[in-house]
Structure 1
């Protein structure tokens, strides 16, 4: 393959690869305009195709010809002509005031609006606000000069009219909007490496055109919510559930966020209605809290008892146990004895505050570390990495719908409720190695063979061979199996909350985990759950409270 920097048209090749991929796999989901675009694009001269892709990959939809200078394209005006004829771009577009400020630089704005004195040195955003009410209309750039009596730069302005279509095609290819065209460049440069998953041509992120339209509608609703539009206005436009679990999970997450917003506004009925109708993790616990806030403790306690009979997760159970005594007290119920927690070792340290830059975990690490018993700052990195390396084959099993393009950082269904169930046999085979002793060789082999390949679990930057070998020598297989099982039980919640530090005694083949809390710091919920789990299973763990010595 030609290296990116050696091929001046690398971006065009990447874009054409996407179009070919989509045409081969998604043709039945494309509309007439999209099919026509794919066909017409291939027939354009190379400079025109390259200019179009340059514009499509840049931010915004308005571009000055003077800023579209690329040696491999040559004459911008000539390259733009076929695009203008097709109606894909337009020259001389009318600009609103915000557009003028977006495309012109500050000295050019000073000439156009004849700024003087303090106005000339004001921030660009302040200049814009000061002019907003005076200039409500949209005009071509030359028209702005006539209106203001100032001087506008002599430049052609192009309006990219096909950005929505390009965004749709990008969505079809990636299955999301958080990945973009830079994935190709990062891969070709070797900055990102991706696992090569053997998925068939039939593997697709979207099953129907309706799925694509629903995703776009959901995305539009999310954008409106992010820009501050009232939740209840957006709710009317949310696409209904249509049986697609992946889209439903995105809808439920947005609904949960809107419920949180109504709760902040103290709209108890609105928040409760959204929470009750939302299966997103945590929604039921928030519904109980809203009922309590709205002075309905009996209803809150009834829902709490229902939830306690079948908690959705350890996180929900933790929240329910915290709310139950308060609700029982409000209702006049007798106090129930608390379930005693497994004892956790506490270490109190009083150390001098370092004079230079410091962080509490690093201070404790350096204080406790010794040549015969080194201490590492690992937090979530070590346990997740060991899990990811041991279970690599299971994680990257080509399950239908999990992989459908070459740039997956992990399975698309990683946070789906049935992620583990769909891969039960491969995960069982991986975890069985912890029983027969073969796990260490698998972890070492994957550490070498998969090094720096993207994984949702492996922290390559935090893991080296020394740390890996210490972990394999000192952490008993039964403990590692318990970690893996708990991660699999709730990937979204249980990938975080691990203790900050780990200390190894290689001569004794043992280890100890240490959670560090500085002055005024407290344990977070996910940390409390991991600490309780480790203590329950007799895994060595200490909570260290650091104070600064006087």
Structure 2
């Protein structure tokens, strides 16, 4: 049940909690201004601290006191008075015309500028343009709007507060609402023990690198000229693994954009220096598109000798015949896929709302053999429940604040290796039957806690019972092993449906393809894997009956 927060200063307490956490765990990383802020903030009057936090949590840096009405704070002008001597907030700040227009309503603009506006009923944007040339200077708010009884405030230290938020969360997409959502019971997080080594940032330059990378990412997303972004991008590897993985991902995205622009040289230049999964395969494709076939084949041969993943092996197998043909090499024998059972259905087109997987599910379902739409939910959930203690193991660099949905290194290449003994202990339960009790216990005790694997909304008690009754432990072990081999890639691609025969203790997974649809690469890999290990899997091709 969602709780109502009784503490009216909950946001202030949460903000102070962050400051205390940072001071205790990251004191050696802070600069002089940050240390001074942590020392000065707690000694201010409570209403002043509360007003400051309210401004930090709101958008922008300019506010009018009349818009900062909070019952628990009282008079915002009185509260702001305690902040003015800190240097964090300034009253009656100088504003550009654009900033002024953001603060004023249209009637106030008419009152402030009066006869200077020729067209009184013009839109606000038109009024701004009409005044821009004559009002180019910045002026205090009180000079712009002389008869206004209101007080304007500018908060000057939002960048400092953003840095503190970054140090706490390890990212800039999480904000202060995480505390509120957690306190209200909307989000729940696993409680992990934090060792002294469990820090996202280990030295001050990690923070600087993150901010530099974030600025480049924002500029890239905003569509700035790509060459300008690349010029400011850090090309050297960071000595912080999770931070460097973010750098590599941005490099990969930039390479993709150059490729989209058909700038083959720059795309290859980025891919060749990028270690993000898939970059080598894209480099080969770019060389092929640029008709540099010899270099492409050389890189392909090196990749085939040591493929980074099943996904890359599959991609290389698709490229190799084309390159061999273009270079005049002997024709390569096609790779044979595993034989998979095929189901062909021809059904009448439904009249009501429908979706392809749902139509097939309902058609195949029998009283003695129910069918469920599960896609990626079931296998990932069973893995997550069985291996809960391994996923949330408190190893250095995995968790560094109380609001992690999963470990920070979830997609790193050594995710499994760093927890090898913990995962081995979890999978060992599949050998002696303990796994069912573990899965059921974690389902009951952890229900609703944020996790990267368990789909709480999809995993009903009925589905869980049938899965444990009909899926052999040996098959579940195969699923877990493949997920662990490449967490980022292998968490998706599972067949859409699963049908259970509880009396016989068996199941079949069914991938559904509607008219004109085809199997995707990650689906092909999972289907091949299941077929190769004698796990029951089928592909259902649906066609619609032709109307008479």
1:322-361 to 2 correspondence within 5 Å?
322-361=318-357
Q: Is the 8 A contact 1:535 1:541 kept in 2?
A: yes
Identify the residue that residue 149 of structure 1 maps to in structure 2: none
Deviation at 1:135? Answer: 6.6
Q: Which 4+ runs in 1 deviate beyond 4 A?
A: 104-119, 124-146
Q: Is the 8 A contact 2:198 2:395 kept in 1?
A: no
Q: How many residues align?
A: 540
Identify the residue that residue 461 of structure 1 maps to in structure 2: 457
Greater shift, 352-361 or 529-538, is seen at: 352-361
1:64-213 to 2 correspondence within 5 Å?
64-96=64-96, 98-100=98-100, 102-105=102-105, 119-120=122-123, 138-141=138-141, 155-213=150-208
Match of 1:237 among 232, 235, 260: 232
Identify the residue that residue 60 of structure 1 maps to in structure 2: 60
Q: In the alignment, does 2:13 pair up with 1:23?
A: no
Q: Is the 8 A contact 2:41 2:49 kept in 1?
A: yes
Q: In the alignment, does 2:405 pair up with 1:409?
A: yes
Identify the residue that residue 13 of structure 1 maps to in structure 2: 13
1:414 and 1:236 map into 2 onto residues whose CA distance is 30
2:54 and 2:226 map into 1 onto residues whose CA distance is 36
Q: In the alignment, does 2:469 pair up with 1:473?
A: yes
Deviation at 1:349? Answer: 2.0
Q: Is the 8 A contact 2:197 2:397 kept in 1?
A: no
Greater shift, 524-533 or 73-82, is seen at: 524-533
Greater shift, 337-346 or 195-204, is seen at: 195-204
1:463 and 1:115 map into 2 onto residues whose CA distance is 65
Greater shift, 137-146 or 392-401, is seen at: 137-146
- Structure 1 length normalisation: TM-score? 0.93
Deviation at 1:361? Answer: 1.3
Q: In the alignment, does 2:404 pair up with 1:419?
A: no
1:140 and 1:528 map into 2 onto residues whose CA distance is 65
Deviation at 1:457? Answer: 0.5
Secondary structure of 1:460's match?
Answer: coil
1:519 and 1:329 map into 2 onto residues whose CA distance is 32
Q: Is the 8 A contact 2:293 2:326 kept in 1?
A: yes
Q: In the alignment, does 2:228 pair up with 1:216?
A: no
Deviation at 1:207? Answer: 0.9
Q: Is the 8 A contact 2:63 2:154 kept in 1?
A: yes
Secondary structure of 1:73's match?
Answer: coil
Question: Using a 3 Å threshold, how does the CA distance of structure 1 residues 447 and 107 change in structure 2: closer, same or farther?
Answer: farther
* 1:91-122 deviation per Cα after TM superposition (whole angstroms, max 9, x unaligned): 233444553454445666687786969954xx
Question: Using a 3 Å threshold, how does the CA distance of structure 1 residues 173 and 335 change in structure 2: closer, same or farther?
Answer: same
Greater shift, 437-446 or 99-108, is seen at: 99-108
* 1:374-432 deviation per Cα after TM superposition (whole angstroms, max 9, x unaligned): 11111111100000000011111111111222111111111111111111011011111
Secondary structure of 1:545's match?
Answer: strand
The two structures, once aligned, show a CA RMSD in angstroms of 2.3
Deviation at 1:235? Answer: 2.4
Deviation at 1:139? Answer: 4.6
Identify the residue that residue 44 of structure 2 maps to in structure 1: 44
2:320 and 2:136 map into 1 onto residues whose CA distance is 57
Question: Using a 3 Å threshold, how does the CA distance of structure 1 residues 378 and 102 change in structure 2: closer, same or farther?
Answer: farther
Match of 1:520 among 509, 516, 523: 516
1:395 and 1:490 map into 2 onto residues whose CA distance is 14
Identify the residue that residue 389 of structure 2 maps to in structure 1: 393
* 1:331-363 deviation per Cα after TM superposition (whole angstroms, max 9, x unaligned): 111211112110122222222232232221112
Greater shift, 100-109 or 497-506, is seen at: 100-109
Match of 1:248 among 244, 247, 250: 244
Secondary structure of 2:232's match?
Answer: coil
Secondary structure of 1:415's match?
Answer: coil
* 1:461-517 deviation per Cα after TM superposition (whole angstroms, max 9, x unaligned): 111111100000011111111110000000000111111111111111111111112
Question: Using a 3 Å threshold, how does the CA distance of structure 1 residues 410 and 88 change in structure 2: closer, same or farther?
Answer: same
Match of 2:302 among 306, 313, 322: 306
2:98 and 2:376 map into 1 onto residues whose CA distance is 44
Greater shift, 102-111 or 381-390, is seen at: 102-111
Secondary structure of 2:378's match?
Answer: helix
Question: Using a 3 Å threshold, how does the CA distance of structure 1 residues 299 and 107 change in structure 2: closer, same or farther?
Answer: farther
Secondary structure of 2:509's match?
Answer: strand
Q: Is the 8 A contact 1:4 1:185 kept in 2?
A: no
2:44 and 2:475 map into 1 onto residues whose CA distance is 61
1:139 and 1:404 map into 2 onto residues whose CA distance is 44
1:153 and 1:517 map into 2 onto residues whose CA distance is 66
Q: In the alignment, does 2:278 pair up with 1:278?
A: no
Question: Using a 3 Å threshold, how does the CA distance of structure 1 residues 373 and 111 change in structure 2: closer, same or farther?
Answer: farther
Greater shift, 382-391 or 540-549, is seen at: 540-549
Deviation at 1:236? Answer: 2.7
Identify the residue that residue 479 of structure 2 maps to in structure 1: 483
Match of 2:290 among 294, 310, 327: 294
2:318 and 2:282 map into 1 onto residues whose CA distance is 13
Match of 1:445 among 441, 448, 451: 441
Question: Using a 3 Å threshold, how does the CA distance of structure 1 residues 234 and 466 change in structure 2: closer, same or farther?
Answer: same
2:353 and 2:83 map into 1 onto residues whose CA distance is 56
1:106 and 1:379 map into 2 onto residues whose CA distance is 53
Question: Using a 3 Å threshold, how does the CA distance of structure 1 residues 131 and 414 change in structure 2: closer, same or farther?
Answer: farther
Structure 1, unmatched stretches of 5+, are: 147-151
Secondary structure of 1:462's match?
Answer: coil
